[in-house]
Structure 1
Amino acid sequence: MELPVYTKQQLALRNGQDKPQIWVALKGFIYDVSESRLWKNGKHYEHWAGQDLTDELADAPHTETVFEKFEKVGVLQGAIS
């Protein structure tokens, strides 16, 4: 099943404030982190949901494998060729 494509504007609405979903993007994929207690209210330490976190991953104390436990819900438009 092919994942739907979302724009940055659509991703931004899934910030835990404007809509009930809490989504973040990483390396072109959008993940639903709504069930994570660490993303409560759309904030995780100094990071905000509804954004592409690819550039911020280098400063994280974990690797991208942490996202494997979350469902991929889409692809960020223009991020993957």
Structure 2
Amino acid sequence: MELPCYTRSQLALRNGQDKPDIWVSYNGLIYDVTRSRLWKDGKHYEHWAGQDLTDELAEAPHGIWVFEKFLLIGKLV
């Protein structure tokens, strides 16, 4: 099954404020983090939902494996 494609503008709306969905992107893929208590209200420490977090992951105390527990919902175009 091919994943749907979303633009940066569509991703930005899923910030937990403009729409109830909370999405983040990493390495061209978009993940739904809505159910994570760590992303409550679209904020996770100093990071905001609705954004591409690829460049920020290097500073995180965890690795890419953290995305394995979230639902992969699309591709960032």
TM-score band (shorter)? over 0.9
Total equivalences in the alignment: 77
- Percent identical pairs in the alignment equals 74
| Displacement after TM superposition at 1:57 (Å) | 0.3
| Displacement after TM superposition at 1:25 (Å) | 0.1
Cα distance in structure 2, aligned partners of 1:44 and 1:53: 11
Q: Which residues of structure 1 form unaligned runs of 5+?
A: none
Cα distance in structure 1, aligned partners of 2:2 and 2:19: 23
TM score, norm. by length of structure 2 = 0.99
Q: CA RMSD in A?
A: 0.3
Determine the structure 2 residue equivalent to 1:74.
Answer: 74
Cα distance in structure 2, aligned partners of 1:2 and 1:47: 29
2:9 counterpart letter in structure 1: Q
Determine the structure 2 residue equivalent to 1:58.
Answer: 58
| Displacement after TM superposition at 1:37 (Å) | 0.0
TM score, norm. by length of structure 1 = 0.94
